[in-house]
Amino acid sequence: MTSAEDPALIRVLAADGTFAPTPEAERFLPLVESLTDADLETFYRDMVIVRAFDRQATNLQRQGQLALWPPSFGQEAAQVGSVRAARAQDHIFPSYREHVVCTTRGVDPIDIIRLMRGMTHGGWDPTDPKNGNTRIYTLVLGAQTLHAAGFGMGLVFDGKCGTGDAETDQAVMVYYGDGASSQGDVHEAMVFANSYQTPQVFFLQNNHWAISVPVATQSRAPLYRRGEGYGMPSFRLDGNDVLASYAVSKASLDEARGGAGPRAIEALTYRMGAHTTSDDPTKYRTSDEEQLWATRDPIARMRAYLEGKGAAASFFDGVDAEAAAYADDVRVRTNALGDVSVDLAFDHVYTEPHPLVAEQKQWLAGYEAAFEEEQA
Ligand SMILES: Cc1ncc(C[n+]2csc(CCOP(=O)(O)OP(=O)(O)O)c2C)c(N)n1
Ligand SMILES: [Mg+2]
C-alpha cells in the first residue's frame, strides 16, 4: 500500500487544491473552519516567502557565501501549518531544516545564515524574547527530542501546563525526521514523555529520505504507529496540506498543553531538493519520483484552493513581490557579514584550553600563511 492510500491519512485539501477531507480529517474540520481568510492568506504567504529564502540561501552557498545549506523546499506546508498552530508561550525545538518554523517565531533569517556560514556555533539566543522560545538547530539527529522531553518534564514539575488556563499553560513542539526516528534518543524521549505525561508534540516530517536511505528501510510499519506503541495518540497527515498540518498540530498542542499528555504526528511530505548542498540526489533517486511529488506541491495546492475561494490575482502578485524583496534583503545582508573567523572552529571544543586543539589551531595558521605566500 502506498502512503497516499493509507486509510488513516488525514488530509483536507486534495493535491489539486479542492476541499476534499478524508474520513480521518472529519474531527479536525472545526479547526479548519475557524480559520479566517486572513489566516489562510498568511499560511500561503509564509510558504512562498520561505521558498524564496530557501532558494536564495541555496544560491548563496553555491556562490561561496555559506558553508552548507539544508533546503526546506517541498516541506513548507508541514512546517507552516504546525508552527502557526503553536501559541506564543509554547516552546519550539527544531532540527536543522525548519527555517520557516524559526522565522515565524521571530528568529531573524540572517541568524540561520550566520550559522550556515560558520560564524557561530548556535545562531540565536533562545531566551531572547524576540526569538519566540525557539531553541537552536540540532544537527545531532534526534537529540532535540530528548531536550524537548526534559523541558516538558520541567513544565510538568513547575505546574506550567494542565492548569486549564490556555493563556498561560505551555506546550513543547519538537521536530525530527524519518531517519532520526530510528535514533535511540527519539525512543528514550518517547518513553520519558509518556511516563511523565509531558505537554509535548513529536512532529515527524517524513520527507521519504534520510540522505540516501529511503524511508522503507527505516521501518516496516508506518512511522506514526511507533507513537502508539509508547501510549500516545498518534496521527498521520498529508504534510503537503497546510490545513491538515495546522489542524492536527493545533488539536495536539491544545490537548498536550491542557494536560492530556504527549502526542505524535507524522507528516508525509517530500524533500524536493537535495539533502544539503553537499548532496547529489540524482545518485540515489529517480526523476519519476521527483516529478510525482512535484504534482503534490504544497504551495501550488494552497494557491489553487485560494483561487477557488476567489482570491485576487493582485494578492498572489503581492506575495511574490514580498518574497522577492525578502530574499534580496537576505542576500544583501549576507554579503555584508564579513569574514568568517577560522578560530571559531577551535573555540568551545572543550571548556578549558586543550593542548591538542591549540596545536591544531597553530598548524592551520601556519598552513594558511604558507598558502597566502604561495598565492602572492
Ligand atoms: C547522530 C547522528 N548520526 C548521523 C548523522 C548524519 N546525518 C545527518 S542528516 C542525516 C539523515 C537524517 O534524515 P532525516 O532524519 O530523515 O532528516 P532529513 O534530513 O530528511 O530532514 C544523517 C544520517 C547525524 N547528524 N547525527
Ligand atoms: Mg528525512
Index of the ligand 1 atom closest to the CA of residue 97: 21
Nearest CA to ligand 1 atom 25: 140
The Å distance, Cα 261 to ligand 1 centre, comes to 27
Question: What whole-number distance in Å separates Cα of residue 262 and Cα of residue 314?
Answer: 42
**pTM (predicted TM-score):** 0.95
Question: What whole-number distance in Å separates Cα of residue 164 and Cα of residue 43?
Answer: 28
Q: What local confidence, expressed as pLDDT, does residue 304 receive?
A: 98
What backbone phi and psi angles, to 5 degrees, belong to 327?
Answer: -65, -40
Yes or no: say if 294 and 300 are a contact pair by the CB < 8 Å rule: no
Which residues make Cβ contacts (< 8 Å) with residue 5, sequence separation at least 6?
A: none
The Å distance, Cα 178 to ligand 1 centre, comes to 9
Residue 87's identity, in one-letter code, is R
Mutation test residue for ligand 1: of 146, 175, 211, 278, the one with most atoms within 8 Å of CB:
211
The Å distance, Cα 211 to ligand 2 centre, comes to 7
Q: How many CB atoms neighbour CB 62 within 10 A?
A: 11
| 208 touches ligand 1 (CB under 6 Å) | no
| 141 touches ligand 1 (CB under 6 Å) | yes
Nearest CA to ligand 1 atom 3: 141
Index of the ligand 1 atom closest to the CA of residue 275: 19
Ligand nearest to the CA of 79: 1
Nearest CA to ligand 1 atom 21: 177
Q: What local confidence, expressed as pLDDT, does residue 343 receive?
A: 83
Yes or no: say if 224 and 10 are a contact pair by the CB < 8 Å rule: no
The Å distance, Cα 163 to ligand 1 centre, comes to 37
Q: What local confidence, expressed as pLDDT, does residue 148 receive?
A: 98
| 139 touches ligand 1 (CB under 6 Å) | yes
Active site residues: 271, 275, 284
Give mean pLDDT in consecutive 10-residue pieces for the chain, a chain of 376 residues: 66 98 97 98 98 98 97 98 98 98 98 95 95 98 98 98 96 98 98 98 98 94 96 98 98 98 98 97 97 98 98 98 98 95 84 94 93 91
Ligand nearest to the CA of 211: 1
Question: What whole-number distance in Å separates Cα of residue 176 and Cα of residue 267?
Answer: 11
The Å distance, Cα 181 to ligand 1 centre, comes to 10
Q: Pairing state of beta strands 213-214 and 209-210?
A: antiparallel
The residue written with cell numbers 500561503 in the block is: 44
Using CA of residue 229, residue 81, residue 95, residue 256, what is the dihedral sign? negative
Instruction: Tell me the pLDDT tens digit for each residue of 183-194.
Output: 999 999 999 999
| DSSP H or E run through 174 | strand 172-177
Q: What local confidence, expressed as pLDDT, does residue 1 receive?
A: 38
User: Is 166 buried (19+), middle (13-18) or exposed (0-12) by CB count in 10 A?
Assistant: exposed
Nearest CA to ligand 1 atom 20: 210
Q: Put residue 197 in one of left, alpha, beta given phi > 0 → left and psi -120 to 50 → alpha.
A: left
Index of the ligand 1 atom closest to the CA of residue 185: 1
The Å distance, Cα 180 to ligand 1 centre, comes to 6
Mutation test residue for ligand 1: of 141, 204, 270, 285, the one with most atoms within 8 Å of CB:
141
**Rounded-to-5 percentages of helix, strand, coil across the chain:** 50, 10, 40
Question: What whole-number distance in Å separates Cα of residue 98 and Cα of residue 25?
Answer: 25
| 179 touches ligand 1 (CB under 6 Å) | yes
Grid cell, residue 18, equals 479542492
Half-sphere exposure of 349 (CA within 13 A, CB side): 13
Instruction: Tell me the pLDDT tens digit for each residue of 298-320.
Output: 999 999 999 999 999 999 999 99
Q: How many CB atoms neighbour CB 177 within 10 A?
A: 26
Q: How many helices (H) and strands (E) does the chain have?
A: 14, 8
